[in-house]
Amino acid sequence: MVKICCIGAGYVGGPTMAVIAVKCPAIEVVVVDISKPRIDAWNSDKLPIYEPGLDEVVKACRGRNLFFSTDVEKHVAEADIIFVSVNTPTKTRGLGAGKAADLTYWESAARMIADVSKSDKIVVEKSTVPVKTAEAIEKILTHNSKGINYQILSNPEFLAEGTAIEDLFKPDRVLIGGRETPEGRKAVQALKEVYAHWVPEENIITTNLWSAELSKLAANAFLAQRISSVNAMSALCEATGANVSEVSYAIGKDSRIGPKFLNASVGFGGSCFQKDILNLVYICECNGLPEVANYWKQVIKINDYQKSRFVNRVVSSMFNTVSGKKVAILGFAFKKDTGDTRETPAIDVCKGLLGDKAHVSIYDPEVTEDQIQRDLAMNKFDWDHPMHLQPTSPSAIKQELDYQKIFDNMQKPAFVFDGRNVVDAEKLREIGFIVYSIGKPLDGWLKDMPAIA
Ligand SMILES: NC(=O)c1ccc[n+]([C@@H]2O[C@H](COP(=O)([O-])OP(=O)(O)OC[C@H]3O[C@@H](n4cnc5c(N)ncnc54)[C@H](O)[C@@H]3O)[C@@H](O)[C@H]2O)c1
Ligand SMILES: O=c1ccn([C@@H]2O[C@H](COP(=O)(O)OP(=O)(O)O[C@H]3O[C@H](CO)[C@@H](O)[C@H](O)[C@H]3O)[C@@H](O)[C@H]2O)c(=O)[nH]1
């Protein structure tokens, strides 16, 4: 029986391994993590992450050929294929701080693999890493190899949160990069055979290591760039009376552009886009390509602009101050169908409003109050380190929450600011609200109160 061990039981490690286990009953899959609470949760009825369809998949194979354990070394030693799916956050200090990927967790996983292995291993990079990381990992492993043969593969993950199970069941493509040597090709083939249990062969792409590593960063950069492009248009729409939804629809009908990822928003969030673009920018700078670095940096600048433009719109429309005013925030995670708050634009919006002394009440059905408190107290980039390294919840910014706000109970004029273009603006206007929708023709009130980002 082939044995797979995945280091890192997070948003990627948990769902990807559960899907491998359910699709390959003859393979034993063990997911290991240094975080005991996380592993306990994977072994309980309340899984540590919320993803539609995940519960069913885990229940179908947990205890059969899918296991979750903190006994990291034992399972790594026994495995034939080791996936490494640990976090690769943005560095907060030292060389490349604020841009480069922090490979501390990756390096310690690699050193541990070198320490405990007694048989040949295929080591798969599942985490998103800078180009050439495989070379560094190879050095760590072979330097301490004790005659063991290691093959490093890059197999980046393209799942999106909220649709992880759907994406894993039917991936647009699976990408596997490996060394162009006989041993490298054999390792690529072994991993290909795992995916071939359910992914059509033509959707499994094989490349060299560096192409696979770079393709992951490039895919995220292209996706984020589309959002920044449409968000940049949304500002122009507001200034001209055009409607961004109509513009998106019209351009998306061009088959060369396509309709997806053209929804204007308060800005993209999530643990990947910003981190991976910053990483790309850093790699460009390190390779003496400042023009290319600046090009991609602009995607993040527009995203920051969009978030502050939204806050400024809120503040300016309420007579240039929200001090003492009650603002209800509906939704805090970075997108629907997830409880993940990493880099959610809601943090920037709430911090902007709190900075102007608003009284903020926040509700999200998938996010705990404790998590929201922690997010609003944390410094930029600190969120993507394992939970046990994060500060515990403070009480300083705790405010009374009130979910009962309806028009009749609100002070007038009453406002709704829609950062996702999800409310029925016309209906709300009929009730009497002043409504701001990103990139849509402005209500008279908002036109008279120009917001400067
Ligand atoms: N979240 C996504 O949607 C997504 C999608 C594609 C790729 N990625 C990439 O996948 C990687 C993991 O992302 P994630 O969202 O799953 O992160 P995560 O923080 O949810 O999970 C990472 C886990 O690794 C564990 N860990 C860290 N060091 C360890 C060690 N030495 N030994 C054992 N366990 C260790 C942590 O405790 C944590 O539980 C990142 O590189 C990310 O960029 C994420
Ligand atoms: O038209 C759109 C589409 C998305 N978003 C926002 O963009 C962010 C990211 O959304 P999405 O890409 O759906 O979720 P992620 O889980 O961050 O997935 C991205 O990041 C993952 C981690 O690398 C990759 O694996 C996925 O392919 C890539 O889509 C969210 O805040 C969305 O609200 C928009 O504002 N407008």
CATH number at residue 108: 3.40.50.720
Q: Are 194 and 276 found together in one domain?
A: no
Interval between CA 414 and ligand 1 midpoint (Å): 42
CB-ligand 2 contact for 362 (6 Å cutoff): no
Q: Does 335 sit in the ligand 2 pocket, CB within 6 Å?
A: yes
Domain end point (choices 167, 199, 231): 199
Say what the pLDDT of residue 349 is.
97
249 plus 135 within the same structural domain: no
Same domain, residue pair 56 and 95? yes
State pTM to two decimals: 0.92
Annotated ligand binding at 24? The verdict is no
Same domain, 248 and 140: no
Strand order in the sheet with 3-7: 66-69, 28-32, 3-7, 81-84, 121-125, 150-154, 174-178, 204-208
Residues 175 and 230 in one domain: no
The answer to whether the annotation marks 128 as part of a ligand binding site is: yes
Nearest ligand, measured from the Cα of 156 = 1
Q: How many domains does the chain have?
A: 2
User: CB-based contacts of 207: which residues, under 8 Å, 6+ apart?
Assistant: 175, 176, 177, 215
Predicted-assembly ipTM surpassing the 0.85 threshold: yes
Q: Is 184 annotated as contributing to ligand binding?
A: no
* 113 closest CA partner among 133, 91, 135, 138: 138
Q: From the CA of 335, give the closest atom in ligand 2.
A: 33
Return the active site residues: 272
152, 282: one domain: no
Q: Is 34 within the bounds of a domain?
A: yes
- Residue 244 burial class via C-beta count within 10 angstroms: exposed 0-12, middle 13-18, buried 19 and up: buried
CB 334 within 8 A of CB 269: yes
The whole-number pLDDT of residue 447 equals 84
Residue 254: C-alpha distances to residues 231, 236, 245, 251, 262 (Å): 19, 21, 15, 6, 12
- pLDDT at position 385, please? 56
C-alpha–C-alpha distance, residues 27 and 202, integer Å: 23
What secondary structure does DSSP assign to 396-435, as a single string? Answer: TT---------GGGS-SS-EEEESSS-S-HHHHHHHT-EE
- Give the three-class secondary structure for 301: helix
Q: Alpha-carbon Rg of the chain, whole angstroms? A: 24
Q: Which two tokens stand for residue 142?
A: 């072979």
Asked, for residue 101, whether it belongs to a domain, the answer is yes
- CB of 158 within 6 A of ligand 2: the answer is yes
Say if 28 falls within a structural domain.
yes
Does the annotation list 90 as a binding residue? yes
Give the span between the Cα atoms of 139 and 21, in whole angstroms: 31
> Which ligand 2 atom is nearest residue 227's CA?
36
Alpha carbons 234 and 241: distance in angstroms, whole number = 10
- Ligand 2 centroid, distance to 160 Cα (angstroms): 6
C-alpha pair distances (Å), 326 with each of 66, 108, 397: 48, 46, 14
| Domain-located, residue 430 | yes
87 lines ligand 1 (CB under 6 A): yes
**C-beta of 220 in contact with ligand 2 (< 6 A):** yes
Q: In angstroms, what is the span from residue 86 Cα to ligand 1's centroid?
A: 4
H-only helix segments in 196-337? 209-240, 244-252, 273-286, 290-317
Residues in the chain with pLDDT values less than 70: 144-145, 380-399, 401-405, 452-453
Both 172 and 287 in a single domain? no
Considering every ligand atom, which ligand is closest to the CA of 269?
2
Q: What is the pLDDT of residue 441?
A: 93
Q: For residue 42, how far is the Cα from the chain centroid?
A: 20
For ligand 2, say whether the CB of 270 is within 6 Å of any of its atoms: yes
Residue 420 alpha carbon to ligand 2 centre in Å:
13
Tell me which DSSP letter residue 71 carries: -
Select from 220, 216, 222, 214 the least CA-distant residue to 283: 214
Beta-carbon-side half-sphere exposure of residue 120 (alpha carbons within 13 Å): 7
Is 329 in the same domain as 285? Answer: yes
Domain containing 144: what range? 3-199
- How many whole angstroms separate alpha carbon 7 and alpha carbon 5? 7
Is 267 marked as a binding-site residue? no
Residues 195 and 262 in one domain: no
How is residue 263 written in tokens? 């929804």
pLDDT for residue 246: 98
Q: How far is the CA of 126 from the centre of ligand 1 (A)?
A: 9
Which of 307, 317, 323, 327 has the alpha carbon at shortest distance from 453?
A: 307
Q: Examine residue 211 and state whether it is found in any structural domain, yes or no.
A: no
